[in-house]
Amino acid sequence: MIEIRNLMKSFGKIRAVDGISLTIPERQVFGLIGTNGAGKSTLLRMIAGVLEPDGGELLVDGEEVYDRPAVKQDIFFISDEPYFFRNAAPEDMQRWYADHYPEFDRERFHKLIEEFGLGMTEHISNFSKGMKKQLAVILGLCAGTRYLLCDETFDGLDPVMRQGVKSLFASDMMERGLTPVIASHNLRELEDICDEVGLLHRGGVLLSENLDEMKLGLTKVQVVFRTPEDREKALEGFKILTSQKAGRLETLILRAEKGETEARFRAAGPVYFELLPLNLEEIFISETEAVGYDIKKFILS
């Protein structure tokens, strides 16, 4: 488990991380959402022990990380722009990481390199951005660490490769208890993989929630009411978070349980009624607007 309490980090006059408090549970995919400058990369670098916090507390499995090599052996960090040695090939990077991570799986590395169509002896400088990201992910998975920190890892990967990487994450979570922490500026990239999500803005945390728990109290419906009186009766006591109309068809997101919503709406005898699934974007828009922020202004892309 990663425990973060009132964490601070500044670069000159710029406060990159400003009092962040988070708990990242084990064996779940935790997503860090935020625009450029929100503090995602700085936070990941502190968790990895690359940067020393200015203040607060950061513990990985109860231990401080910075300047603690033994703790760092359980953490692998994939930066937004992965670094590789000059003129190195994948086999060179394999040897280097195997020297630093005792659980590095060389056999699996060779297998994944072949499956992803990367050459073991090809100069990495000849790789595309997406190929370099693939190599970094393969190295991270084969390192055998408990925690894999990913900074914009899916950026540069085509849809097929994204799904392949997500499948590998899921497999390692099941088989050896991997905990991926994935930072992205794009909500849609993390839609189908995250168990919990933290929303960062200007160095702080606006929201950190389990997605399933967030969905429990929200219901999305499309409906055509016969009369304004029917609408008023169906919605009585419900909090409307968002409402959009196209002619007589109204799409609503309500803070209400699905069962109660369905019973109330059907009792009103609408012309048309349907419960709809909520996506991650809609959940965050609803939750952040409820606490006074308009997420659409700074996170949707």
Residue that has been written with the tokens 């935790």 in this structure: 30
User: 214-243, pLDDT tens digit by residue?
Assistant: 777 789 999 999 999 999 999 998 988 888
Cβ-based neighbours of 83, under 8 Å, separated by 6 or more? none
Q: Which among 90, 86, 104, 8 has a CA at the least distance from the CA of 52? A: 8
- Domain limits, CATH 3.40.50.300, in the chain: 2-209
What distance in Å separates the CA atoms of residue 60 and residue 2, rounded to the nearest whole number? 5
User: Would you place residue 287 in the very low, low, confident or very high pLDDT band (cuts 50, 70, 90)?
Assistant: low
Asked whether residue 301 carries a pLDDT value surpassing 90, the answer given is no
Q: What is the percent of the chain where pLDDT is above 70?
A: 94
User: Would you place residue 34 in the very low, low, confident or very high pLDDT band (cuts 50, 70, 90)?
Assistant: confident
Asked whether residue 298 carries a pLDDT value surpassing 90, the answer given is no
Residue that has been written with the tokens 């935020």 in this structure: 34
Mean pLDDT, rounded, of the chain = 88
What distance in Å separates the CA atoms of residue 225 and residue 22, rounded to the nearest whole number? 43
User: Would you place residue 297 in the very low, low, confident or very high pLDDT band (cuts 50, 70, 90)?
Assistant: low
- Domain limits, CATH 3.30.70.120, in the chain: 217-297
Residue that has been written with the tokens 């988070």 in this structure: 22
Rg of the chain over all Cα atoms, to the nearest angstrom: 23
Residue that has been written with the tokens 């991570």 in this structure: 101
Best-predicted range by mean pLDDT (17-21, 222-226, 296-300): 222-226
User: Would you place residue 58 in the very low, low, confident or very high pLDDT band (cuts 50, 70, 90)?
Assistant: very high
CA distances from 167 to 75, 139, 160, 163, 233 (A): 20, 16, 11, 6, 46
User: 115-162, pLDDT tens digit by residue?
Assistant: 999 999 999 999 998 899 999 999 999 999 999 999 988 877 788 888
pLDDT of residue 294: 58
What distance in Å separates the CA atoms of residue 22 and residue 36, rounded to the nearest whole number? 19
pLDDT of residue 137: 94
Q: Are 222 and 276 spatial neighbours (Cβ–Cβ below 8 Å)? A: yes
pLDDT of residue 37: 79
Token representation of residue 83: 């670094």
What region does 159 belong to: left with phi over 0, alpha with psi -120 to 50, or beta?
alpha
Question: What average pLDDT score do residues 29-50 get?
Answer: 89
Residue 260: CB atoms within 10 Å: 13
Backbone angles phi, psi at 120, to 5 degrees: -65, -35
Q: Are 256 and 263 spatial neighbours (Cβ–Cβ below 8 Å)? A: no
User: 74-94, pLDDT tens digit by residue?
Assistant: 999 999 888 999 999 999 999
Q: Are 66 and 7 spatial neighbours (Cβ–Cβ below 8 Å)? A: no
Question: What average pLDDT score do residues 180-189 get?
Answer: 84
What is the CATH code for 2-209?
3.40.50.300
- According to CATH, the topology of domain 217-297 is Alpha-Beta Plaits (3.30.70)
Cβ-based neighbours of 172, under 8 Å, separated by 6 or more? 141, 178
